[in-house]
Amino acid sequence: MPHLLYAAPHSLYSAKARCYLRKQGIAYREVMPTDARFEQYIVPRIGRGIIPVLETVEGQIIQDTVDIIDHFEAAGVRYPAYPAGPRQRVLALMIEYYASLPLLRPAMHYRWSFFAEQERFVRDAFVAGSGAQAAEKIMGRMASYLPALGVSEALSMRESRNWRFLPGQGVNRFAEVLSAAAIDAHLRTDAARTPYRAPRGFQAALASRASHIASIIRANARSLASLPA
């Protein structure tokens, strides 16, 4: 009997949980939040309708991607997500934090600031994941978060011009925040314990990208150096 992962294809954090389960070879069945069991059994136990949620084979309910990952990490997995060394673990957590929170702003921006260009995809995804009745309300709520995230109308208009006259420029900015050094180190040192392999030319393609993560590492170099190796 597999675990049940309540998730949706368009959900950012569902993708993170799904990727982890697949990488570890953990048997699971993905269930959309429109399933009656989610509303009748899961929501009352976690207090709100949110995904992803994992229902283990033992009946434990775990909400939040990090908690889902930590649950399996504590039990032991074939490809641990976190290095054993204290310094390396702190670095891994910093990268995870950066990907989960600071990158939420551009993720939300590129989804909701260009709604007209991708309305069909977004609407179909939210209807499939939440039902037609709730989809409009949820989409409106998600889009309303943009000002709080610092995404202004001026920024959206400027990005629109970039997309119009410089095709792909907006998307390429996602790649610019990746750390070529950190990814290259992961691919080199984790080659023996990960099922993934870098495509041809991957490191070379990243070599010219700006590295925000590297800046964070440099800013915290003294703290990292104080930890045992």
Q: Which residue has the tokens 């991607």?
A: 65
Residue that wins the pLDDT comparison between 10 and 56: 56
What distance in Å separates the CA atoms of residue 190 and residue 226, rounded to the nearest whole number?
24
pTM: 0.67
The mean pLDDT of 166-182, rounded to a whole number, is: 42
Under 8 Å between Cβ of 28 and 21: yes
Residue that wins the pLDDT comparison between 70 and 172: 70
Tokens of 188: 């080199």
Looking at domain 3-75, which of 3.40.50.150, 3.50.50.60, 3.40.30.10, 3.90.1310.10 is its CATH number?
3.40.30.10
* Domain boundaries defined on the chain: 3-75, 86-102+177-225, 104-175
Residue of 162, 160, 201 lying closest to 184 (CA atoms): 201
The mean pLDDT of 127-155, rounded to a whole number, is: 82
Q: Give the single-character DSSP code of 199.
A: P
For residue 176, what pLDDT is reported? 42
For residue 160, what pLDDT is reported? 52
Residue of 89, 6, 18, 85 lying closest to 48 (CA atoms): 6
For residue 224, what pLDDT is reported? 56
Q: Where do the DSSP E strands lie in the chain?
A: 3-6, 28-31, 53-55, 61-63
For residue 199, what pLDDT is reported? 43
Residue that wins the pLDDT comparison between 209 and 213: 213
Instruction: Kindly give, in sequence order, each residue whose CB lies less than 8 Å from that of residue 108, ignoring residues fewer than 6 positions away.
Output: 142, 145, 146, 149, 151
Largest Cα separation within the chain, whole Å, is 54
For residue 206, what pLDDT is reported? 42
What distance in Å separates the CA atoms of residue 28 and residue 57, rounded to the nearest whole number?
9
For residue 210, what pLDDT is reported? 36
- In this predicted model, what pLDDT tens digit does every residue of 25-57 receive, in sequence order? 999 999 998 899 999 999 999 998 889 999 999
Q: Sign of the CA dihedral 41, 44, 49, 50?
A: negative
Under 8 Å between Cβ of 143 and 115: yes
